Amino acid sequence: MTKGFLIAATNSGVGKTTTSMGLMAALRKRGKTVQGFKTGPDYIDPAYHAVISGRPSYNLDTYMMGTDAVVDQYVRASKGSDVSIVEGVMGLFDGMDSTEIAGAAHVAKTLDVPVFLVINVHGMSRSAAAILKGYAEFDPDVHIAGVILNKVGSPRHLELVKGALDGKIPIVGALPRNPDIAVPERYMGLHLPEEKDLDYSQLAAFIEENMDIDLMLQIAADYEKERERPEPAEIQTPAADIKIGIAREPSFCFHYPAMFDAFRQAGAELEFFSPTAGELPDVDGYYFASGYPEFHIKELSESPATKKLKDLAADGVPMFGEGAGLSYLCESYETEDGKFKMTGILPAESKITKKLQGLGYAEAKQISSEFGTENIRAHEFHYSLTEPAKDSKFAYEMLRGKGIADKKDGLHEYNVLAGYMQMHPGSFPIADFVEKCRVNKRK
């Protein structure tokens, strides 16, 4: 089995993303095959992982997927790689609400992999020892195998921190402050990889110079020797008998690679297209994920694709949207630049706001068996509001989270379904959507 480890941190913003990306870049530069993973419902960090590693980076979320599926995804995706790197989320022990669920520690324990902890030592010396001791002893089932000291001010500062540590947990990295390698952020997270000209070779060189990568790999290899991993069941992917169009561009850019896998495993061939550019393939169904339509709203509104979709929906072609996809399938979308016509399929109006409107894990039950029988576990993260017409039809009743309105989500008209819940195939029945496309094709 591939050796692997998890990069965690004491809290958000201390350098775990930069460290994870840098390690992937450095190992790739060494000629290693690297498999990336991200803890939790994140889209952008895995996109960077994929660019650097040349392989899809998969999310590991114990809430949306369950622990067995997390292990299966890790083992399955790690095949053929030399090392697997899991990037944590928030602080090591931060999970859903006040629990460990879906946190980095929970994933580390579920996978049984060693953890390398990033500590921002800016403005401290001996206090770093207290932090490390607390994290190392908080949960004995989490194996902190090494510490990475970030934002080291000087060689003298490093010596002060080293002198305070007891040496039981090795220092595997000491990263000096370097603002040149930071990735800029905006309201929904990091900029997309294609929006930032980041020098990955510079990042790789920085990590290679300031981290003991060989020691980390040896620690991971020694740890893996004592583990027994379950062999994942073989998945038989049928020959594709339908086509599904996947909107893939900055307006609709938040995709889980596992979602693409699930579509294919249900018998669908995927065709990627750009609605903003006017593309609209002749397919049996369409999927519109979340993204940044507000940055391309005029072009999107005037696109021939936008104007054609309502007629296709009226003909029964299935469509599924989430987040930005919901706004796009509504009658209009209002931004700072005005109100713009969208597809007009769903009887609702959407608008972007400056205030965060929904963030966190969600759970919903189906109002009708047409949308499945098992509860959906998903994630919400949006700055927009959507106002549905009074007679709008909903698919889900929210047990956790906000949804669109009145604790309901999943507006639906014709064979079109869209909501604020951002779905993962770990609990969303992709096969049902594919079958709906298949049935429509046969008509």
Q: Would you say residue 63 has pLDDT above 50?
A: yes
Q: Would you say residue 415 has pLDDT above 80?
A: yes
What would the pLDDT profile of 231-259 be if each residue is shown by its tens digit?
877 788 899 999 999 999 999 999 999 99
323: left (phi over 0), alpha (psi -120 to 50) or beta: left
DSSP state of 429: -
Per-residue model confidence (pLDDT) at position 17: 93
Cα–Cα distance for residue pair 160/150, rounded to 1 Å: 14
Percentage with pLDDT > 90 across the chain: 87
Cα–Cα distance for residue pair 145/116, rounded to 1 Å: 6
Q: β-strand 285-288 against 319-322: which pairing, if any?
A: parallel
What would the pLDDT profile of 100-130 be if each residue is shown by its tens digit?
999 999 999 999 999 999 999 999 999 999 9
Of residues 68 and 195, more confidence is placed in 68
Q: What six digits make up the tokens of 174?
A: 């000491």
Q: Would you say residue 183 has pLDDT above 60?
A: yes
Per-residue model confidence (pLDDT) at position 226: 81
> 23-37, 224-238, 405-419: lowest mean pLDDT where?
224-238
Q: Nearest-5° angle of CA 82, CA 87, CA 88?
A: 145
Q: What six digits make up the tokens of 182?
A: 């930071």
Of residues 87 and 232, more confidence is placed in 87
Q: Would you say residue 195 has pLDDT above 60?
A: no
Q: Which of these, 180, 181, 176, 185, lies nearest to 211 by C-alpha position? A: 176
Residue 71 makes CB contacts below 8 A (sequence gap 6+) with 110, 111, 229, 230
| Phi, psi for 366 (deg, rounded to 5) | -75, 135
Cα–Cα distance for residue pair 285/318, rounded to 1 Å: 5
User: What are the chain's domains?
Assistant: 3-225 (3.40.50.300), 242-442 (3.40.50.880)
Per-residue model confidence (pLDDT) at position 131: 97
Q: Is the alpha carbon torsion for 192, 416, 423, 367 positive or negative?
A: positive
Per-residue model confidence (pLDDT) at position 232: 79
DSSP β-bridge partners for residue 150: 120, 175
407: left (phi over 0), alpha (psi -120 to 50) or beta: left
Per-residue model confidence (pLDDT) at position 397: 97
Cα–Cα distance for residue pair 87/102, rounded to 1 Å: 13
Q: If DSSP codes are grouped into helix, strand and coil, which group holds residue 185?
A: strand
What would the pLDDT profile of 342-361 be if each residue is shown by its tens digit?
999 999 999 999 999 999 99
* Mean pLDDT score, 173-177: 95
DSSP β-bridge partners for residue 244: 270, 285
Q: What's the pTM?
A: 0.94
* Mean pLDDT score, 404-415: 96
